[in-house]
Amino acid sequence: IGIIDADYVVQPDWLKDLVPVFADPRVGLVQAPQDHRDGDRSLMHYIMNGEYAGFFDIGMIQRNEANAIIVHGTMCLIRRAAMDMAGGWAGDTICEDTDLGLAIIEHGWLTHYTNHRYGHGLLPDTYEAFKKQRHRWAYGGFQIVKKHWRRFLPGASRLSPDQRREFALGWLNWLGAESLGVLVAILNLIWVPIVAFADIAIPDRILTLPIIASFVVSLVHFMALYRLRVPVKWGQMLGAMFTAMSVQWTVSRAVANGLITEHLAFARTSKGGFSLMSVEFQAFWEAVIGVLLLVGAAVLVVTNSQKEVREIYVFAAVLVLESLPFLSAVAIAILENSRINAFSFWRNTGVRTAELIGLRPVAMPTVVGTTQPVTSEIHPEAS
C-alpha cells in the first residue's frame, strides 16, 4: 500500500526501486523522504525548507540504523499484512501515520529508510500554517507517547533496547526539551526582581552555566551535523537554525494542550498559495516573552553596575540566550510581511550595489516601445 500526500509529484521510478525490498518477508514498510518543490517562493520558504531537510538527512538516517524510523505519512510503502497486524489506521491520534508506523515496529517488522528523494510536495503557505502544522505534529506526538508508553516496558512488546532508546530520546529531545526551555525562561523572569532588588544571586555553577554550556553544545552540534549531512548553503543553514528555534513556544503549547485535553481537531496545513494571510501578528506571545527576557537582562545589568556581582551578569546572559527562540519567531513573522522576503529584492539590491561600486555598467532606462536610451537632450522642434 503506497501513501502519498495530495500535493506530491512523484518520480516514476519510486515503485520500481523500492517494491523489491519487500522480497524480504520480514520487511513491513519502506519510507522515502519528505521534500518540497517550492522552496524558492520566498526567503521564508527557503529557510523553512532547510529546516525540514535536517530531520530527513540527519535524524532519519540515524534512526534507520536502529530500525526505528518515523513514518511521516507520504512517500511510504507498507505491507498489507503488517498494517493488518498493527490494527490499521488509528483514529485516536491526529498523527495517525506515525502511530501506525510505531505499531508496525512494535510487532517486530523490519523497516527501511532511503534518503533518495522520490517525491516533492508543497511547503506551508504562511508562517501561521507552518506553526499550525508543527503544533499538530507535537500534539499528535504527545498523544502517541501517552498511548504507547506501556509498550516500552520490558517484555511489553518486541521493541529492542536500541529502538526504545531512539524513540524515548527523540520524544524527550523534541517535546521535553522545548517545553522545559519555555518553563525555565518563565521561571527566570519571575526570579529577575528578586535578584535585582533583593540582592539574592543565583549560583551560576548550578542554574546558569549549564544553560550556557548546553546552548553552545547544541549550536555546535547543529552546525557540524548540517555541514556534514545536509546539502545546503551557509545562509540556508543559519535560517534553518532560526526556524527550528522559532517553534519552541508552539511545541510547548502543544505539550500543554496534550496534558489537559485528549483530542484536538485535525488542523489541515494550508498549501498551494491559495490561503489568505492572517491580519494577526503570528508571533505575539513570543514577542511578549522575548522582550520581557531582554528587559529583565537589562534591569539586571543596570542594578548590578555598582554591586559588580559576577553571578548576576551570568544570569543576565542566560536571559539573553533564552530570548533567542522567541525572537526568532518574531523575526520570521516580520520577515514574512517584509519586502526583503522576496528574492527579487535581493537580486535587484545585488545589481544596484554592483553598479554603485563599478563592478558592472549602469543600466540605462528605456522608453516603452523602443530600445533607444532616454537622454536629456531637448530638440529645437520640441521646444
Q: Residue 74: which CATH number?
A: 3.90.550
The one-character DSSP state at 36 is B
pLDDT of residue 375: 45
Among candidates 380, 45, 54, 93, which has minimal Cα distance to 254? 93
- Using one digit for the tens of pLDDT, what is the confidence trace for 10-61? 999 999 999 999 999 999 999 999 999 999 999 999 999 999 999 999 999 9
The one-character DSSP state at 103 is H
More confident residue, 288 or 371: 288
Q: How many domains does the chain have?
A: 1
**DSSP string for residues in 57-73:** IIIHHHHHTTT-----S
- Mean pLDDT score, 207-234: 90
- pLDDT bracket for residue 368 (50, 70, 90): low
- The SS3 assignment for 233 reads coil
Residue 210's alpha-carbon distances to 169, 204, 232, 343, in angstroms, are 20, 8, 31, 40
Q: Is residue 293 part of a domain?
A: no
AA identity, residue 36: H
**Which residues share a beta bridge with 27?**
110
- Using one digit for the tens of pLDDT, what is the confidence trace for 11-23? 999 999 999 999 9
Q: Is residue 161 part of a domain?
A: yes
Grid cell, residue 362, equals 549602469
Q: Is residue 380 part of a domain?
A: no
The mean-pLDDT minimum among 301-310, 331-340, 362-371 falls in 362-371
Judged against a pLDDT cut of 80, whether residue 2 lies above it is answered with yes
- Mean pLDDT score, 174-201: 90
Q: How far apart are CA 204 and CA 207, in angstroms?
A: 6
pLDDT of residue 374: 46
Q: Is residue 131 part of a domain?
A: yes
Record the pTM: 0.89
> Could you tell me the residue range of the domain that residue 17 belongs to?
2-254
Q: Is residue 328 part of a domain?
A: no
Q: Is residue 272 part of a domain?
A: no
Query: Kind and range of the H or E element at 196?
Result: helix 177-198
Q: Is residue 378 part of a domain?
A: no
pLDDT of residue 329: 98
Q: Is residue 280 part of a domain?
A: no
Torsional class of 194: left (φ above 0), alpha (ψ -120 to 50), beta (otherwise): alpha
